[in-house]
Amino acid sequence: MKKKNILLRICALIVIIGYFSGLFATSKAYAKEDILTITQNAGYQTNELYKPRSSIVIEAQTGQVLWEDNPDLKWNPASIAKLMSAYLVFDAIKQDKITLNTLVKATDSDQAISQIYELSNNNIVSGVEYPIKDLLYATLVQSSNVATVMLGNAVTAHDEAKFVHMMNDKAKELGMTNSTFYNASGAETGSFNGYYKPEGINQSADNISTARDLAILAYHLLKDYPDTVTYTSPTQITIMENTPYAEVLENHNYSLPGLAYGYEGADGLKTGSSPTGGFNYAATANRGNTRLIEIILGVGDWEDQEGELQRHAFGNAIFDYSFASYEYKKVLSKGDNTVNEEKITLDQDFYDVVQKNLEPTFALSADKLTVDNGLPQVSSTIAAPSVNFKYAKKLKALQQSALLKTGKKKNKLSTFFVNGLIIIFGLLFIALSKLLKKAPSKKIRLFFTLGTVLTLVGIGLSIYTIIVGPWI
């Protein structure tokens, strides 16, 4: 009895040890360094006061998440909201409602907004016509609130509320499930001194989004309109050139090459800051075949302007972390391959995200092949990369079967042709027997008999071909 109790205790101890070692192994497998630690290890001077409230990095081709930290925290994105406004402008251009050269005549209200000191703006003069292209640069380089409002009015014929509703409709369409927009530019409507008032929309509400939702927005923006980086990459640009209204715009994205936190391959997207949102950053960078998108939200405090620089330190550091860990590349070539000890044939080259210095592993399901990289999609509406395949043995069997069927079909056609010729010759002999009235009766009977036999043989062979198959 004592031995039995001892054995039971030993078994229980083994189970408990196994359970906790499993938990430890699992937590270790999914552990990742803290963003503050990564940034400090990258050589940037920062501390806990500036640590972002939320962050995410995704791969731009596939929408796979390479890094995330509290990505679903609802937050005021501030001027990053201008990316949604730009998206709707590009939509309108695609739909031929406007063009890059469409001229927008500035109103008295536009000029008044441009002179509000508290808002980020560029110079606007009432009565002057500004091209859509220059207003896009003003919006995405200078973060001009008035330029954003003018773009929205150009799209909707001065229906400010309609444009905000369009922003929310587009957010739903893209799968941004935790975003609500109350204004076009990211600045609270009440700060426009009454010159911008979308009717029926809360004038004191901040736009709300998440790092995940903003990554989804940036993903679709770059997918649908890759020329976006043309408007987000200049460190400095002059608009309204060769006119009395020419103006030099400066980019606040200090991670662009050549600026204070210049990062190799960076070419967008947008910064944003506000009293309630702190300092935010949406970025993209391209190296080789790999383009990444990142969102950093809630760096520091609005009262401490050091956060404006610190957001770039965090952004650069997790870009480095992600570029060093993953790459987007061709993992299998079109044609014959061996995957999971199965010989398969792909109908095209297959690209996906893989961890560097590791051989990719694959999953075969039905007729789809995927990479088993353990990376989640940023949104359920964005499908993971896959490629069609066929098992090589089945494919060859199908090909041989097709060849056999084709051969049989050809043989059948040629057999019917021969059968037809036999019948035709038989009918000709029967016809000759009728025409040769003066010939000896034996000769007439011979032609008739031969014709009858040939005709019957031809008909018989045709029936055989239909039922059994080709006889030649």
Known binding positions: 270
Residue 97's alpha-carbon distances to 74, 161, 295, 385, in angstroms, are 34, 18, 31, 34
Tokens of 382: 């964005």
Sequence ranges of the binding site for substrate: 270
Pick the catalytic residue from 54, 109, 143, 209. Answer: 143
Active site residue 79: yes
CB 58 within 8 A of CB 64: yes
Among 368, 385, 288, which Cα is nearest to 331's? 385
Active site residue 409: no
Region for 160 from its dihedrals, namely left if φ exceeds 0, alpha if ψ lies in -120 to 50, beta otherwise: alpha
Q: Which residues neighbour 327 within 8 Å (Cβ) at sequence distance 6 or greater?
A: 288, 289, 290, 353, 354, 356
Region for 157 from its dihedrals, namely left if φ exceeds 0, alpha if ψ lies in -120 to 50, beta otherwise: left
DSSP 124: -
CB 186 within 8 A of CB 77: yes
| Sheet architecture: strand order including 290-299 | 65-69, 54-59, 290-299, 278-287, 266-274
Tokens of 391: 């098992």
Active site residue 443: no
> Rounded CA gap, 180 and 164, in Å?
10
CB 151 within 8 A of CB 136: yes
Pick the catalytic residue from 51, 54, 82, 170. Answer: 82
Pick the catalytic residue from 51, 54, 55, 79. Answer: 79
> Rounded CA gap, 239 and 370, in Å?
47
Tokens of 303: 């009262």
> Rounded CA gap, 182 and 163, in Å?
10
| Sheet architecture: strand order including 335-339 | 335-339, 342-346, 387-391, 368-371, 362-365
Active-site residues, by number, are: 79, 82, 143
